[in-house]
Amino acid sequence: SAVISQKPSRDICQRGTSLTIQCQVDSQVTMMFWYRQQPGQSLTLIATANQGSEATYESGFVIDKFPISRPNLTFSTLTVSNMSPEDSSIYLCSSTDGGRNEQFFGPGTRLTVL
Amino acid sequence: AQSVSQHNHHVILSEAASLELGCNYSYGGTVNLFWYVQYPGQHLQLLLKYFSGDPLVKGIKGFEAEFIKSKFSFNLRKPSVQWSDTAEYFCAVRFGDDKIIFGKGTRLHILP
């Protein structure tokens, strides 16, 4: 099974600033995913990040607001740009194993925007 | 559009009661089905999954789920719940293009 770590685990940021969240997987994976879990709600897929190609964004999410990098098969970053209090959420990184049998999740980054 | 629906948003049961949480999805193609659990303050954990074969799937901690293709459903069951089952439960579906969509979740509260 894949082990996923995220940094930072939490942060408190000012409105208008940006935060980059890092995601590290302990094995090479083709597909990585970024989710958002707003308070009291379910997980919403932000985008799918494949190494060597542009991230694919879900409806309601755009690259200018949530730029994603995927420089290699074990690492990805998500930036939350020009933050507002509505961006306060838990951001989760996820990947599937080689056989796509299971999806693993990182511990999440709890973001609070003041 | 692809979607996942969980019918119960908040369920309260007494210990030893039986549990069934509903999950339906809208998609006519091939799907993989999952139930995840999130205990208070913890990560998401996989309870069980269905890819193919026997539509009755057994998972960890005594949970099981049945895939009924004709009803586009994948309901989660447990015959006798325990206080430690208090958590949030998410149904998730992988649609043909590899992305997984989650339902809105069901908060389960077990009374001791």
Q: Is the peptide bond before A8 cis (omega within 30 degrees of 0)?
A: yes
Distance from the A88 Cα atom to the nearest Cα atom in chain B, whole angstroms: 17
Average pLDDT on A46-53 reads 88
Provide the token pair at A101.
Answer: 């049998």
Phi, psi of B111 (to 5 degrees): -85, 130
List pLDDT tens digits, range A20-41.
Answer: 999 999 999 888 999 999 887 7
Handedness of CA B46, B22, B12, A90 (dihedral sign): positive
Rounded Cα gap, residues B94 and B43, in angstroms = 20
Q: What is the pLDDT of residue B97?
A: 62
The number of C-beta contacts closer than 8 angstroms across A and B is 42
**Nearest Cβ partner of A42 from B90, B98, B99?**
B90
Chain B contact probe: residue of A29, A103, A104, A110 with most B CBs at under 10 A:
A103
pLDDT beyond 80 at A1? no
Whether B98 contacts chain A with CB within 8 A: yes
Rounded Cα gap, residues A73 and A32, in angstroms = 9
Grade residue A101 by pLDDT with cuts at 50, 70 and 90. low
Residues of B in contact with A58 (CB under 8 A): 99
Phi, psi of A3 (to 5 degrees): -110, 130
Rounded Cα gap, residues B92 and A26, in angstroms = 24
Q: What is the 3-state secondary structure (H, E, C) of chain A?
A: CCCEEEECCEEEECCCCCEEEEEEECCCCCEEEEEEECCCCCEEEEEEEECCCCCEECCCCCCCCCCEEEEECCEEEEEECCCCHHHCEEEEEEEECCCCCCEEECCCEEEEEC
List pLDDT tens digits, range B47-65.
Answer: 999 988 999 999 999 999 9
Distance from the B62 Cα atom to the nearest Cα atom in chain A, whole angstroms: 19
